[in-house]
Chain A
Amino acid sequence: MLFGKRSTRDAFEKQAERVFPSLFGTALRLTRSREEAEDLAQEAIVRAYEAFERFDGTNFKAWMLRILTNLYINKYRQRQRGPQIGSLDEEGMIEPTGPEEDVPDRAIFDHLVGTEVEEALAKVPTDFKVAVLLSDVEGMSYQEIADITGVPIGTVRSRIARGRAILRRNLTEFAKKEGYLKQGAEE
């Protein structure tokens, strides 16, 4: 019995250590605070360890990210002040991006550095940001993102499209401000 528990711990620790950088990175991008990210990631690890016997053994990283994002959405977002754009009914939500015909200059993305992207990402509503991060940074499929966030695959598709549109707008504004892109260049 004791050996069984030890091997469970070893198995968990081995897998958790492998995915921890992704977990912590996602936590950091969501919270934008190293201290809060540590709390969030640690809490996710503890929850996962306690529920490890119920893990189906298929996709550990997706399972861990699901715990983390659920924790973040349930716990951390409650602390945020002000209107929650991401929590509004998505079908009725006003599209906060420019018109569809606006075609951004792909060159603006070549000038970007990490902090600029992080800042632009921070302005994206949570649900959209989670979907974009999981897709673009963690390389998750739409189905995996749907499993992680607990929403239908169609919603994931919509969130990624909208999230990227908001991000593109933020980055474009940033590029204009920094002079990478001339005013009105993308119209």
Chain B
Amino acid sequence: MIDAEKLNALVDNELEPAERAEVEKLLASDPNSAARVGAIRAMKTALKDNAEPVRCEDEWKACVKRLNAIDGAKKTRAIVDRWAWAMCSCLFVFIVVGGLFNRVNPGVHAGAADLSRAGMEKPIRDVYHWLKSEIGGTPTVPLQVINAYEGMYRDHRTATIYLKDAKGQVSLVAVQGNGSKVVVDGVTPMDDGQHFVGQNGDKNTIVWMYKGNVLILSGSRSADELLTVANQIQF
């Protein structure tokens, strides 16, 4: 009896010439093995013939779609990889420029909503110097000066001086007119026709004009008391 593996290899044409010759010689005198070879051949043919071709157009289209998605992701990744240094550089430059701009134009964004907190603290001497050159005078104030800030209010440069007496703290904001009209919302004219009164948060506020610039005095005290202080401030 010939080994089954050899018979199968013979059918598959996988025997070396010498081995093949030997098996074929044995087969001539072994009808049982010869019949087995015939059966293996028949089964191989049946398997091949019955393996119907499978329709797979839709499945192939799905594969192509998936490959497209992979290519898309690769492309995006390649762009990010290639330009990551540039994006990081841009961000770095943006931060540096923003920092420098903020240093040169302090408080550009901070002063619009809340005047009392607008700007960057500066030595009082520098603020007075700025007031003299931009507003046209330095104030003589009846209260103790605590600190001073420079900042912005609706595109107008400002200087804020914090003052203090026994009744508490008040702030004096000088808004540079800069040739255009400064609008202060929520104030009404007072009886003297020179001052306006209103509220800045929970504080009373007195507003008046000086050489085309606006002066705003705010504090947690009555409007009359603030008006008294305002009248004592001389430029």
Partners in one complex: yes
> In the complex, what distance in Å separates the CA atom of A139 from the CA atom of B36?
21
> In the complex, what distance in Å separates the CA atom of A104 from the CA atom of B7?
14
Contact A49 B14 (CB under 8 A): no
**Which of B8, B42, B45, B56 sits near A24, CB closer than 8 Å?**
B56
> In the complex, what distance in Å separates the CA atom of A160 from the CA atom of B5?
8
Chain B positions 40-94 with a Cβ under 8 Å from a chain A Cβ: 40-48, 50-54, 56, 59-60, 62-64, 66-67, 70-71, 74
Check A142 for interface membership: any CB of B closer than 8 A: yes
**Which of B12, B14, B43, B56 sits near A171, CB closer than 8 Å?**
B43
Chain B, Cβ-Cβ closest to A37: B59
Majority secondary structure, B binding face: helix
Q: Decide yes or no: A46 and B67 within 8 Å by CB, A109-B46, A137-B48 being known contacts.
A: yes
CB distance from A144 to the nearest CB of B (A): 11
> In the complex, what distance in Å separates the CA atom of A46 from the CA atom of B66?
8
Check B4 for interface membership: any CB of A closer than 8 A: yes
Chain B positions 136-177 with a Cβ under 8 Å from a chain A Cβ: none
Per-position 1/0 for A131-151, Cβ under 8 A of B = 010011101011000000000
Considering residues A16, A110, A113, A160, which has the most beta carbons from chain B within 10 angstroms of its beta carbon? Answer: A160
Check A90 for interface membership: any CB of B closer than 8 A: no
> In the complex, what distance in Å separates the CA atom of A161 from the CA atom of B40?
9
> In the complex, what distance in Å separates the CA atom of A109 from the CA atom of B35?
14
Q: Which residues of B contact A117 (CB under 8 A)?
A: 46-47, 50-51
Interface size on B, residues (CB 8 A): 38
CB distance from B73 to the nearest CB of A (A): 11
Check A103 for interface membership: any CB of B closer than 8 A: yes
Interface size on A, residues (CB 8 A): 51
Contact B62 A160 (CB under 8 A): no
Chain B, Cβ-Cβ closest to A186: B39
Check B28 for interface membership: any CB of A closer than 8 A: no
Q: Which residues of A contact B43 (CB under 8 A)?
A: 104, 109, 164, 167-168, 171
Contact A141 B42 (CB under 8 A): no
A-B contact pairs, 22 of them (CB 8 A): A13-B67, A38-B59, A41-B63, A42-B59, A42-B66, A46-B63, A46-B67, A49-B70, A103-B36, A106-B42, A109-B39, A112-B50, A113-B50, A114-B52, A117-B50, A117-B51, A136-B47, A136-B48, A137-B51, A141-B14, A160-B12, A165-B4
Beyond A46-B67, A106-B42, list 19 extra A-B contacts (CB 8 Å). Answer: A17-B60, A21-B53, A24-B56, A24-B60, A37-B59, A42-B59, A45-B66, A46-B70, A100-B4, A109-B46, A112-B46, A113-B50, A114-B51, A136-B48, A141-B12, A157-B5, A157-B14, A165-B4, A168-B39
